[in-house]
Amino acid sequence: MSLVVFVGAGALALAAVVLFRRPGTLVRNPLSVSTCVAISLGALVFCCSAPVTLAAVNDLTGVPNFGAPLTYGMLSAYSCSLLILLVHWRGGARERVRRMVRFSIAAYGPLIVAIVVLFVLADARTERLTDLDTYYANTPYMREMIVLYLLGHTAAMVAMCVVCLKWGREVTGLLRAGLRLILIGALLDLLGFQLAKYTAVVARWTGHDLDVLSTSVAPPMASLGALVCSAGFVLPRLLPAAVAHWCGLRDYCRLGPLWSRVEFVSTAPKPPAAWWQLPLERLHWREVAIHDALLALAPYFDDRVRQTALSAALDSGRTPHEARVTAEAAMLDAAARRAAARQAPLPTPSSHRLHATEASGPGALVELAQALARTPAPDTAGEGTVKAFQD
């Protein structure tokens, strides 16, 4: 059972780490703060509910079952944080948001106090690490404590389901997908974890024994719900960045033919070769270095080469844009060959501006790279920079 709940804790902790990767930006955004607080509290709840943790807490405090009010109080705080998260997520007038946040705290604050007070009043001297809810289901004060924490968590999950259903009809894309995942996770918690707990406790009230629902069914369902919910929390924030970095890595690789052709003339300072450098950062540096190389090769651009290649491309049926890129690739190839051979710059170099230097983003450079890949590369090994061989 400890492994099951630790899996749920790990899933929520990972989601919190992903969202907390930029603390400076996060603290200025109430939505991000409330999201990380809710996910972190969820991870702590799973850690505290593990039998290994409960035994350690009980031994440390010397109070049998001290881990119960700790876990239940933290679960109530987690439920409150979910409601606050929903309030911030929905947004609205600032005063209304603050009022709803204060209302949530006012509702769950006394609930947490009541859980602690009821535990103090109860007679719970026998340590129970896995079946406390059912073992003490008929014990005065413990019975009320168990019902209170379950009702508080149920209210939060029901509210989450209602908001996800309503809001899911108003939004599209990744946000809707994230809301659906959160809804599924909340339903797994309601129908799996909480329904199993309620059934097992009520069975004890009526003289029956369905403890297996509380000890064997509820924990894995809670962990599964946490996994799905954590995916819903991070999907709208993480997936766009992941897609952007994937596209950046693709463009970085596609710029390879162009970079290998002009690398020997670039004087741009090289970034530190760190394996953890993100693809978009690598792409940005390669763009800068290529533009620097194109600037260095400008004195070698020959309009005659470009015009000849342009006419040939148009005659072969290329569109005007394709013909322009092909001609510019031919002119760049000839310039790289002259520079690699350490020839003098042209007396009257071309004043033509490359499409790759006019357009923003890596798309135009990628087009030039793909056109250049169709021409044989000059031998530029060991040639140094243009500045070096011009001296």
One domain, residues 272 and 231: no
One domain, residues 70 and 196: yes
Q: Is residue 125 situated within a structural domain?
A: yes
Summarize the confidence of residues 215-244 as an average pLDDT. 81
One domain, residues 174 and 286: no
Q: State how far the Cα of 353 lies from the Cα of 104, in Å rounded to an integer.
A: 62
One domain, residues 170 and 318: no
One domain, residues 187 and 260: no
Q: State how far the Cα of 266 lies from the Cα of 383, in Å rounded to an integer.
A: 12
Q: Can you read off the two tokens belonging to residue 210?
A: 């369905």
Q: Which residues contact 219 (CB under 8 A, 6 or more apart)?
A: 1, 4, 5, 49, 193
Q: What is the pLDDT of residues 245-269, one digit of tens each?
A: 888 889 999 999 998 888 888 876 7
Query: pLDDT band at residue 271, thresholds of 50, 70 and 90?
Result: low
Q: Is residue 250 situated within a structural domain?
A: no
The pLDDT assigned to 14 comes to 63
Cβ atoms of 172 and 202 within 8 Å: the answer is: no
**Domain ranges, residue 378:** 256-390
Q: State how far the Cα of 360 lies from the Cα of 364, in Å rounded to an integer.
A: 8
Using the 3D structure, point to which of 239, 268, 301 is the last residue of a domain.
Answer: 239
One domain, residues 235 and 287: no
Closest to 5 measured CA to CA, from 76, 37, 39, 53: 53
Q: Is residue 246 situated within a structural domain?
A: no
One domain, residues 80 and 123: yes
Q: State how far the Cα of 39 lies from the Cα of 151, in Å rounded to an integer.
A: 20
The pLDDT assigned to 15 comes to 61
Q: State how far the Cα of 284 lies from the Cα of 270, in Å rounded to an integer.
A: 12
Q: What is the pLDDT of residues 177-190, one digit of tens each?
A: 888 998 999 999 99
φ, ψ of residue 152 to 5 degrees: the values are -60, -45
Neighbours of 45 (CB within 10 A): 26
Q: What is the pTM of this model?
A: 0.68
The pLDDT assigned to 384 comes to 40
Using the 3D structure, point to which of 206, 239, 272 is the last residue of a domain.
Answer: 239
One domain, residues 62 and 182: yes
The pLDDT assigned to 277 comes to 64
pLDDT over 60 (residue 377): no
Q: How many domains does the chain have?
A: 2
CATH of the domain at 91: 1.20.1070.10
pLDDT over 60 (residue 24): no
pLDDT over 60 (residue 276): no
Q: What is the pLDDT of residues 105-162, one digit of tens each?
A: 999 999 999 999 999 999 999 999 889 999 999 999 999 999 999 999 999 999 889 9
Q: Is residue 93 situated within a structural domain?
A: yes
Q: At what angle do helices 218-254 and 363-372 cross, to 10 degrees?
A: 60
pLDDT over 60 (residue 170): yes
Torsion of CA 190, 170, 11, 42, to 10 degrees: -60
Q: State how far the Cα of 324 lies from the Cα of 313, in Å rounded to an integer.
A: 8
Using the 3D structure, point to which of 207, 239, 271 is the last residue of a domain.
Answer: 239
One domain, residues 199 and 270: no
Closest to 39 measured CA to CA, from 20, 25, 24, 26: 20
Q: Is residue 245 situated within a structural domain?
A: no
Q: Is residue 352 situated within a structural domain?
A: yes
One domain, residues 195 and 264: no
Q: State how far the Cα of 254 lies from the Cα of 29, in Å rounded to an integer.
A: 37
Q: Is residue 184 situated within a structural domain?
A: yes
Q: State how far the Cα of 363 lies from the Cα of 2, in Å rounded to an integer.
A: 51
One domain, residues 279 and 336: yes
Q: Is residue 368 situated within a structural domain?
A: yes
Q: What is the pLDDT of residues 320-350, one digit of tens each?
A: 999 999 999 999 999 999 998 888 888 888 8
Q: State how far the Cα of 34 lies from the Cα of 37, in Å rounded to an integer.
A: 5
Three-state DSSP string of the chain? CHHHHHHHHHHHHHHHHHHCCCHHHHCCCHHHHHHHHHHHHHHHHHHHHCHHHHHHHHHHHCCCCCHHHHHHHHHHHHHHHHHHHHHHHHCCCHHHHHHHHHHHHHHHHHHHHHHHHHHHHCCCCCCCCCCHHHHCCCCCCHHHHHHHHHHHHHHHHHHHHHHHHHHHCCCCHHHHHHHHHHHHHHHHHHHHHHHHHHHHHHHHHCCCCCHHHHHHHHHHHHHHHHHHHHHHHHHHHHHHHHHHHHHHHHHHHHCHHHHHHHHHHCCCCCCCCCCCCCHHHHHHHHHHHHHHHHHHHHHHCCHHHHHHHHHHHHHCCCCHHHHHHHHHHHHHHHHHHHHHCCCCCCCCCCCCCCHHHHCCCCHHHHHHHHHHCCCCCCCCCCCCCHHHHHC
The pLDDT assigned to 243 comes to 83
One domain, residues 223 and 278: no
Q: Select the more confidently predicted residue: 151 or 270.
A: 151
